[in-house]
Amino acid sequence: MSEEFKSGSGSLTSDSLEADDVLAGAEPWDPVETKLVLWSLAIAAVVLVIGLFVVPSSVLH
Amino acid sequence: MATMTNRKWYTGMLSQEDWWAVWMGLFFFGLGLLTCFNIDVIGWVTYPTKWVFSPPEGGKGAISSAFYALGKKYAYDPDAKAFYKGLGWWSIIWTYVALTVVTTVGAACMKWDVKKFVQGWTVLFFLTIAVWFVGHHAFFAATIINKHKYGLDFSLSLGGGASFILALIVGLIIGNFFKGFAGFLSEAAKPEWYIKTAIVFLGVKVGYLPIKAAATSMKLGKQVAGLTGDLFFAGAVATIVAYMVFWPGVYVISRKIFKLPRKTAAVLGSGISICGVSAAVATGGAVRAKPVVSIMVSALVVIWAVIELIILPGVFTHIWPGTSDPLVAGSAMGMAVKTDGADAAAGELLDEFLRTKIATETNGAVQWPEGIITTSAVMTKIWIDMFIGLWAFVLAMVWVYKIDRRPGETVPASEVWHRFPKFVLGYFAAWWIYLAIFFGPGHAGAAEGMTLLKMAKAGAVPVEKGLRKLFFMLTFMSLGVITDFKKLKEAQFGKMVWVYFVALFLFIIPVAVIIAYLFHHGMEIPNMAG
């Protein structure tokens, strides 16, 4: 965890541009990612439906 | 290095960049607030304006006026205004001295090499100013709307975006071809620090917007005020829907199609979906991505924003939706074009294109007022700006409690605090304090509050406009200085360019147009020709 702490709090310098691993080594898809994606889309859907009814300029009016 | 076990809630307050972005941001924000008491000590902030070598007679663009103190234009107190008017190019020195003092204190507290920092900072600052100056030559920055005022028949119409690109290019040249010089600048080339500070200044901008809108509505009249109110409401809802579709969409594209790691996909999702650079940095901090990820995404955002700025206004004008649904076009532009400057410039171009087209098509029988289409582009952008801190917080929670948590491990609530990007606190503080001024003593823009709001504006503009853009310039210059193409090639930067291309043109822009249509279809702009 301390390494993770370090990775996000320090200043970016030319030495820290060792980026060979930031695009490689994708972890397997995790169910929590499915939840994150679906919750985002669900919120979008709810706001869309409510918005279409309450926004006077929407296509429903 | 502190570990999770011995960290206190206040750990790093004087030694971390995150916190120093807050202190520096709030310091200048505080100086700006003093104008509410008619004490103007912030109007010295320097700002460039478009220029040419030989301005036409009666036109604009004299080099002698290429830099001015923002107090010249925005100070409320007449004496302060007169003083700042006299500064001209000297405003650069005032800005240099003030920023040098504050940044050097920060560098000392963070235990950097102060002597090397001051030397590097001084060169970096003046180099940035020089690039800012060049980037505002009317050939780069003037639009088709105003190029004739500078005696030009052609301009690139890049607006303020030209300066950002130039800063990045100059920085990249230094970083890749003058490595000794880059080493000299390295102690002061801190893109993360500068962008985090700029995000605090962004909070001032978001909080100041209602004050600005109150003044704009008065100018445009009652009829248009009603329309801008509708745009404000429709823009808010459309933006929430769009963002909650954009982010998961880009995340899935990055993970499933391009097989990127989670943290990189999360930062890309925010960078492409929300307001680019600021969102990428905030998300990078929240999920503890390596800083290089945020920086790579930031570079991509700037480059693609300019490409969008060049392409989209013409596409929306001549292909679809055109003059049949001008506010759908404006709103979609706001959701699609990243970075505030590029969005405003793209909105301005679209505004001009569509007004010219409708006037031509109707032989002058229909003339739309200037600025409404630009407003529709800006209204969606400001709501997206507001998402930055909120989404960083949500992602920090998800990553702490769900993704980074190992089986059987107990994660203390304090971890969320330590992981939360602290500069976002400065962003919220600045935003909410200006909002409190607007709705409190400012009487929400009513006549009895307008005096105070004008005084508040005098302090907000130098921070949200002058310092914010200067810190963006410093960010891009520093970013270039520390970027090594060889390492980027090793890091498969090209792959990220393709992720951005696919996500932007095949997903973000089509979805933005659909959502803009759902909430803005049929909205009509008043005809000023009667």
CA–CA min distance B300, chain A (Å): 15
Measured CA to CA, the distance from residue B30 to residue B233 in angstroms comes to: 30
Looking at chain A, the whole-number percentage of residues with pLDDT higher than 90 is: 51
CA–CA min distance B281, chain A (Å): 10
Mean pLDDT, range B482-494, rounded to an integer: 72
CA–CA min distance B234, chain A (Å): 6
Mean pLDDT, range B255-264, rounded to an integer: 92
- CA distances (Å), B24 to each of B131, B193, B199, B285, B380, in order? 24, 10, 11, 19, 29
Q: Is the pLDDT of residue A19 over 60?
A: no
- Domain span including residue A22: 3-60
Task: Give the ipTM.
Answer: 0.80
Q: What is the pLDDT of residues B181-240, one digit of tens each?
A: 999 999 999 887 887 898 788 788 878 877 876 665 555 445 555 676 788 789 889 989
Measured CA to CA, the distance from residue B248 to residue B254 in angstroms comes to: 10
Residue A1 is predicted with a pLDDT of: 34
Q: What is the mean pLDDT of chain B?
A: 85
Please answer yes or no on whether A36 and B17 come within 8 Å at the CB atom: no
Measured CA to CA, the distance from residue B213 to residue B218 in angstroms comes to: 9
Confidence band, pLDDT 50/70/90 cuts, at residue A17: low
Burial of B410 (0-12, 13-18, 19+ CB in 10 A): exposed
Residue B232 is predicted with a pLDDT of: 79
Mean pLDDT, range B24-44, rounded to an integer: 96
The token pair at B425 is 């606190």
Confidence band, pLDDT 50/70/90 cuts, at residue B428: confident
Q: Is the pTM of this model over 0.80?
A: no
The token pair at A25 is 């080594």
Please, which residues have CB within 8 angstroms of residue B182's CB and are 6 or more apart in sequence?
A14, B174, B175, B189, B481, B482
CA–CA min distance A17, chain B (Å): 6
Query: What are the chain A neighbours of B488 within 8 Å (beta carbons)?
Result: 17, 19
Closest CB to A37 among B182, B251, B495: B251
Residue B471 is predicted with a pLDDT of: 92
Q: Is the pLDDT of residue A8 over 50?
A: no
At B343, phi and psi to the nearest 5? -65, -45
> Please, are residues B481 and B189 in contact by the beta-carbon 8 Å criterion?
yes
Q: Is the pLDDT of residue B526 over 50?
A: yes
Of B184-188, B398-402, B435-439, B524-528, which one has max mean pLDDT?
B184-188
Please, which residues have CB within 8 angstroms of residue B280's CB and are 6 or more apart in sequence?
B267, B268, B270, B271, B293, B294, B297, B298, B301
Closest CB to B483 among A17, A47, A56: A17
Please answer yes or no on whether B230 and A37 come within 8 Å at the CB atom: no
CA–CA min distance A35, chain B (Å): 10
> Please, are residues B517 and B328 in contact by the beta-carbon 8 Å criterion?
yes
Please answer yes or no on whether A14 and B482 come within 8 Å at the CB atom: yes
Closest CB to B191 among A5, A12, A38: A12
Q: What is the mean pLDDT of chain A?
A: 77
Confidence band, pLDDT 50/70/90 cuts, at residue B408: low
Mean pLDDT, range B430-455, rounded to an integer: 86
Higher pLDDT, B495 or B485: B495
> Which residue on chain A is closest to B267 by alpha carbon?
A22
Looking at chain B, the whole-number percentage of residues with pLDDT higher than 90 is: 40
Confidence band, pLDDT 50/70/90 cuts, at residue B1: very low
Residue B217 is predicted with a pLDDT of: 53
Q: What is the pLDDT of residues B53-62, one digit of tens each?
A: 989 887 788 9
Residue B2 is predicted with a pLDDT of: 43
Please answer yes or no on whether B245 and A40 come within 8 Å at the CB atom: yes
> Which residue on chain A is closest to B3 by alpha carbon?
A2
Sign, CA dihedral A6-B395-B297-B188, equals: negative
Q: Mind giving me the DSSP string for B23-62?
A: HHHHHHHHHHHGGGGT----TT-EEE--B-SSPPTT-S--
Please answer yes or no on whether B484 and A17 come within 8 Å at the CB atom: yes
Of B173-187, B339-353, B426-440, B471-485, which one has max mean pLDDT?
B173-187
> Which residues 111-140 in chain B show a CB within 8 A of chain A?
none
Query: What are the chain B neighbours of A19 within 8 Å (beta carbons)?
Result: 290, 292-293, 296, 487-488, 490-491
Reduced to 3 states (helix: H, G, I; strand: E, B; else coil), residue A19 is coil
Measured CA to CA, the distance from residue B196 to residue B472 in angstroms comes to: 10
Chains A and B form CB pairs within 8 A to the count of 178
Choosing among B241, B481, B484, which should be mutated to test the A contact, i.e. which has the most A CBs within 10 A?
B241
Q: What is the pLDDT of residues B44-88, one digit of tens each?
A: 999 999 999 989 887 788 999 999 999 999 999 999 999 999 999
Higher pLDDT, A21 or B173: B173
The tally of CA atoms less than 13 A away on the side-chain side of residue B49 is 18
Measured CA to CA, the distance from residue B138 to residue B168 in angstroms comes to: 19
- CA distances (Å), A48 to each of B31, B56, B512, in order? 41, 52, 13
B3 interfaces chain A, CB cutoff of 8 Å: yes
Q: Is the pLDDT of residue B99 over 70?
A: yes
What letter represents residue B101's amino acid? V
Choosing among A12, A48, A59, A61, which should be mutated to test the B contact, i.e. which has the most B CBs within 10 A?
A12
At B144, phi and psi to the nearest 5? -65, -20
> Please, are residues B272 and B250 in contact by the beta-carbon 8 Å criterion?
yes
> Which residue on chain A is closest to B409 by alpha carbon?
A1
> Please, are residues B285 and B417 in contact by the beta-carbon 8 Å criterion?
no
Closest CB to B518 among A9, A10, A59: A59
- Could you tell me where the DSSP H helices lie in B110-178? 114-135, 138-141, 161-177
B184-204: b (≥16 Cβ within 10 Å) or e: bbbbbbbbbbbbbbbbbbbbb
What size, in residues, is chain A?
Answer: 61
How many domains does chain A contain in total?
A: 1
Choosing among B253, B482, B486, B515, which should be mutated to test the A contact, i.e. which has the most A CBs within 10 A?
B482
> Which residues 340-369 in chain B show a CB within 8 A of chain A?
none
Confidence band, pLDDT 50/70/90 cuts, at residue B490: low
Q: Find, among B403, B482, B437, the residue nearest to B176 by Cα.
A: B482
Start-to-end CA distance of chain A, whole Å, equals 53
Q: Find, among B197, B195, B206, the residue nearest to B426 by Cα.
A: B197
Reduced to 3 states (helix: H, G, I; strand: E, B; else coil), residue B137 is strand
